[in-house]
Structure 1
Amino acid sequence: MRKSAVALCGVAAIGAVALVLVPATVPETSEGDTGLVSVVVNGGRTVELGPGETRTFPVEVTATDRSGIRTVDPIGLWGPNYATLKVGPMSCVPVDATGTVSRCTGEATVEATSRVLFDDQAGTWFVDLRIQANDGDRYVSKSAGGFSLKRAALLDEASCPATASDGEKIRLNGRLQRAMWDEHGYIPQQGTAVYLQFRDVGSNTWSTLTAVRTDHEGRFSIQLEASRSGTYQWYAPGDKWTGSATSAELPITVGPRQ
């Protein structure tokens, strides 16, 4: 971060004001032919964290320089509202015959119970790093790559009759909650769209039938006519701050009307 200070000093003897400039701290910049090829966090997947969970996930940096890559150090992760995470020591291994390209790997750990992670810090995070080459060149970036760290969602209390007659009215229910890192528990996720999906017997494909919205307790319900045997499930796609969730599968056998 660039920092500077300006001091105004009054010179009483001559009644003038002198301006004294304190040298600024200049941020480190990239130098030479060192280049970033890619940054991959958690294999490219979202990191979802429940209210009492601890997750350790990989951080992978691929870089290039004519002299070869010596190390990636320092490296850290930062997110909304001044959130930061440390990445452990990176191990670099050349991935080509010339030794100009190396893949460096390390791990980061995030804890929902550590009191250093809060609900408003979910969302898009970035990688802050310095890549150092064998010849002294370097590549520096505070946002070398991005990834998502989200509050886990829970879709429970899903229910559906196990059997029904063709044309019979049936009711399906469920509840959607999301992790609350601040209080180490789950809270209802209200006003959120949840999708009812169906899969025919013998099929591997889910089709979306309709959508409902959760109430203030995170609960939802729908009534429909049973028409064929298969399996229902509820699905919530999540958003920028909350992960997706899928309910338990709800099989139903539909027989002839009695």
Structure 2
Amino acid sequence: MRIRATVAAASGALALSALAVPAAHADGSAASYREGAAKVLQAAHATSGMTAFTAAAPAAGEPYALNATFSNLKIGKAYKVGTTNHVAFSVSYTLTHGADVDITASDFQTGPYIYKGSYSTPSNMLVGDKPATCTATSSTVATCKGNIDVYPAEGELLNSDAGSWSAGALAIAWNGQDPSSSTFDITKVGYADQGGLGTTLIQRNSTLTVNAGPEPVVKGRTLTATGKLSRANWEDNKYHGYTKQPVKLQFRKAGTSTYTTVKTVYSDSYGNVKTTTTANYDGYWRFSVNIQLVCSG
């Protein structure tokens, strides 16, 4: 599965990003949840075209519908992902379940996930390393909080995955079934899954350097500012020059707190930025970017 994006950045930091169904990480419980949740998610989405998994009875290769729904999901507006570092972000939501669902069972698990594209046929999905933790507020309602974990160095993202993602939540009653076992029977697993609960942007992280000289510069003389705008490439795990992007040269006079835009220039075909200006006051110089891209699909 795979995904696409929208980007925004400012003052030397740019972003754009995406998602993919991952490998196992950390301890055994993390591996069990991450792999098991991905397996059941894929099976359920392969047979459901609705905004929630509501199969009345288990068919061949499907879990049965668990009596649970999700609401009040809260997720951040945007997250930046670089080339190598693990990124984790928190999601909270409300879980409402039937009296027949025991959320305190040792093999009951719930967690958030994000997906790219449509709910029924997502191009990419990401879950967390571990299930969410829940606190019961009544006999049938609980507030839950869990992470989404992203590992860009392990091939979870393509550059085309950057952009807008949708958020959902799932719950699994394993009922003694082990998804890693050769005798695993998915039809004995209870499962609830609801998409369209929120949206976020996964962004490709960008960096922007600046150097102004000569130092010191004489009042009224020419000052040259140089730098480089680079963006994370999720397909080779390196940063490359971000070309033909508007970059603002800004100045803050000593003793003040506000930067003023002096001029706007564009990064060249290698992401390099260079411009000159006249130095009239003591103060501080910086490059700033504020870019928004929208990729369809």
Q: Same fold (TM over 0.5)?
A: yes
The separation in 2 between residues aligned to 1:218 and 1:166, in whole angstroms, is 30
Contact 2:112 2:147 (8 Å CA) reproduced: no
Aligned pairs (5 A) from 1:234-253 = 234-240=287-293
- The amino acid of 1:210's aligned partner reads K
- Which has the larger displacement, 29-38 or 154-163? 29-38
The answer to whether the aligner puts 1:110 opposite 2:150 as a matched pair is yes
TM-score, normalising length from structure 2? 0.60
The separation in 2 between residues aligned to 1:128 and 1:195, in whole angstroms, is 38
Residue number in structure 2 paired with 1:10: none
Contact 1:118 1:181 (8 Å CA) reproduced: yes
Contact 1:69 1:92 (8 Å CA) reproduced: no
Post-superposition Cα deviations, 1:199-236, rounded to whole Å, max 9, x if no partner, equal 11122222222211011011121111111111011111
For the pair shown, the structure with the greater C-alpha radius of gyration is 1
Unmatched tracts of structure 1, length 5 or more: 1-24, 133-137, 243-258
TM-score, normalising length from structure 1? 0.68
The separation in 1 between residues aligned to 2:109 and 2:292, in whole angstroms, is 32
The separation in 2 between residues aligned to 1:127 and 1:146, in whole angstroms, is 6
Residue number in structure 2 paired with 1:84: 125
- The amino acid of 2:135's aligned partner reads V
Contact 2:67 2:98 (8 Å CA) reproduced: no
Unmatched tracts of structure 2, length 5 or more: 1-46, 55-64, 173-190
- The amino acid of 1:59's aligned partner reads V
Aligned pairs (5 A) from 1:85-234 = 85-87=126-128, 88-94=130-136, 102-130=142-170, 141-156=194-209, 158-234=211-287
Residue number in structure 1 paired with 2:110: 73
The separation in 1 between residues aligned to 2:245 and 2:169, in whole angstroms, is 37
Q: Matched residue of 1:120: which SS?
A: helix
Q: Matched residue of 1:144: which SS?
A: strand
Q: 1:131 to 1:205 in 2, by over 3 A?
A: farther
Q: 1:157 to 1:99 in 2, by over 3 A?
A: same
Contact 1:69 1:101 (8 Å CA) reproduced: no
Residue number in structure 2 paired with 1:5: none
Q: 1:226 to 1:113 in 2, by over 3 A?
A: same
Q: 1:91 to 1:220 in 2, by over 3 A?
A: same
Q: Percent identity?
A: 22
Q: 1:106 to 1:174 in 2, by over 3 A?
A: same
- The amino acid of 1:83's aligned partner reads N
Residue number in structure 1 paired with 2:84: 52
Contact 1:69 1:100 (8 Å CA) reproduced: no
Residue number in structure 2 paired with 1:246: none
The separation in 1 between residues aligned to 2:89 and 2:111, in whole angstroms, is 18
User: Which has the larger share of strand?
Assistant: 1
User: Which has the larger share of helix?
Assistant: 2
Deviation, 1:158, is: 2.9
The separation in 1 between residues aligned to 2:148 and 2:92, in whole angstroms, is 11
